[in-house]
Every structure is written in C-alpha cells, then in structure tokens.
Amino acid sequence: MDTRTGVTRREFLRRSLITAAGLATGVSAATVSSEQTSSSESLRLVFATDIHLMQNDALRSEEGLAAAVEAIRALQPRPDLMVCGGDLTDPSPNLNYPAANKLLNRFLGIWTRLHPIETHYVFGNHDFVGTKNPLVSRYDSRFGKGLFEKRLGLPRLYYSFEKRGWRFIILDDVCLNPEGDYYAEYKADQLDFVQSELKAHKEKPTVLVNHIPTFSVFGKLVGFARFVATDFKRRPSLVSRNGQNLANVIRNSGANVKLVLAGHLHHQERLEIDGVSYLNGGAICGNWWKGPMMGCPEGFNVIDLRSDGSFKIAYKTYGWRAG
C-alpha cells in the first residue's frame, strides 16, 4: 500500500485505465477523437496550450499562431469557450520587463482576434518573467507571475466559474524555488479550494485545468523518467510531484468531475483514472515551432461538453508547417 494515498497497487491498477493517444505511434495529421456518446446539447470548449511565441517572429512563430487562431475562428459550430493552457510566450523567464511586456503584447495582438469568444488563461512555467535574468529586480511587482496577472487582469491564478451547467476550476500548479527553477505542486490552499468547490457543486459536471500534468506516462515512455517529479531542486517537473493529492480530493469528494486538462508536454495523451479523464494536450507550437513533437503535430483540442455530463474530444491540427 502507498501510505500517502491509502491505495494498494492492485487497487490502483484495477481502477486505472491508461489510453495514451499517440504516444507510441504519433498523432495523425488530421484529427484524433474520442467520445462518451450522447445527443444532448453541447458546450464547445477549445483547449489550446503551449504557444511559445518567440521574440522577433523567430521560427515564424507569429505566422504559426495566426494560422492556429484562424483555424479556431473557422470552427463550426463556433466555440463557446476558450481555455489557454499556459506558456503564452517562450523566453520570458530570461527577459527584462519591457521585453517581456512587448512580447506579451505581440501574443495578445494575435490571440485577441478570437474575440468575442470567452477566454480564460492558465499560468505556465514559460510565463514567469525575469526569473532567469539576474539583472532584473526581484522586488518589482512584475517579477515572476506578476506581469502575467496584471496584463491578463487576473486577481489570482486559481478560481472557478460556470458556463451552461458545467463547472470549471482553473488551477496554478507551477511553483518557483529560490534558485529560479520551476517545479509542479498542488499547494494546500488550492487543494482546499478544490475540495470546497467540489463540495458546493457536487452534482455539476466539472472540468479542472492546470498547466503541468497531474499524471503522465510520457516521461517513462521516452526515457525521461529521471526528470519526473524526483529531484525538484535540480530538474524541472514533467508532472506534479503530488498529483495523488489532487486525485484523492476528487475521489473523496464524490463529485461529478469529468476532465482534468493540462499541457506542458507538447504531446497528446489521455489517461482514465477513477472515471476521470486526464487529458494532456498537444501544443499549438508542436516541437517549439520546429515541427511535430515526437509524432504529435501542432494543434489544439476541441471538446464538446454535453448537458448530461458526456463529452467528445477531438485533436485538431491547423495546417501550419515548420520551414
């Protein structure tokens, strides 16, 4: 038995069904979809993550982002809701404040072409500002997560909202150590927040979203197991170091949680655990605008959420090719 979770290995294996879409063979260049069938009315959500806009349009990243935006605008039916899963820009941890703000302006100038689609933003590790730049002041309100919060008008980086009978809980699992390196962890205040939200809205179908995955098999599959939530002071996290704590909150609540969305890995992966779908989405930028990421092309997820709690997931590419 794992003393942290109270779950035996046999119980975990019995409860867990893992379907890692595209991990072994890559994702097709068209669409990968999965469905919990129903014919009831839908709420169309676009989950787009890991844009990594570069400075000075390096690698044609602005062209790529514009192509993705146009593909989203062309969707029929039109999306009702957008969630951007983090890493809006790429080099911001190394930039000073004016440079980071200028790059974020470039991102927003393209992204806001999606107006009036309601959009929510998740904080990603590349959204830190100045954390790898020794020349910037750590006491400036824009340091770290400050610029992201100010420019996007976010009073805090975890919150909830409701749309068409579905509950959404936006979380921030990206943390910073004293050396300026990031790691992933669900802090106690956010776990308490999730617990309170699920208790208050137990019957509502619910989607949780954060940047770094709760769980993943990606690291082990591609030989990065040494990076996965082990040495938090020296290595970045591919997954949360306490994902089991969030899973315990979800399971113990008995609430109607359907999906937990994340990005970060740039690869499409879906795990089914305790009846919850953990979807780690492919990236808008693919392999940082250099082509597909280990077979997963540039793209975004279109998720049709139905009023009875069922849903359909489709990974959509948008036709851009690295030059």
> How do residues 204-238 score in pLDDT, each as one tens digit?
999 999 999 999 998 877 776 544 444 444 456 88
304, pLDDT greater than 60:
yes
How high is the pLDDT of residue 317? 99
Query: Average of pLDDT values for 38-66?
Result: 92
- For the chain, the domains span 9-317
170, pLDDT greater than 50:
yes
Q: At 42, which helix (H) or strand (E)?
A: strand 42-48
How high is the pLDDT of residue 223? 73
Q: Name the phi and psi angles at 276, rounded to 5.
A: -110, 135
How high is the pLDDT of residue 1? 41
How high is the pLDDT of residue 222? 75
How high is the pLDDT of residue 230? 43
Query: Average of pLDDT values for 266-288?
Result: 98
State the burial class of residue 299 (Cβ atoms within 10 Å of its Cβ: 0-12, 13-18, 19+).
Answer: buried
Return the percentage of the chain with pLDDT > 70, whole number: 84
CATH homologous superfamily of domain 9-317? Metallo-dependent phosphatases (3.60.21.10)
11, pLDDT greater than 60:
no
131, pLDDT greater than 60:
yes
Residues 23, 267: contact at Cβ < 8 Å? yes
Rounded Cα–Cα distance for residues 284 and 19 (Å): 21
Mean of per-residue pLDDT scores for the chain: 89
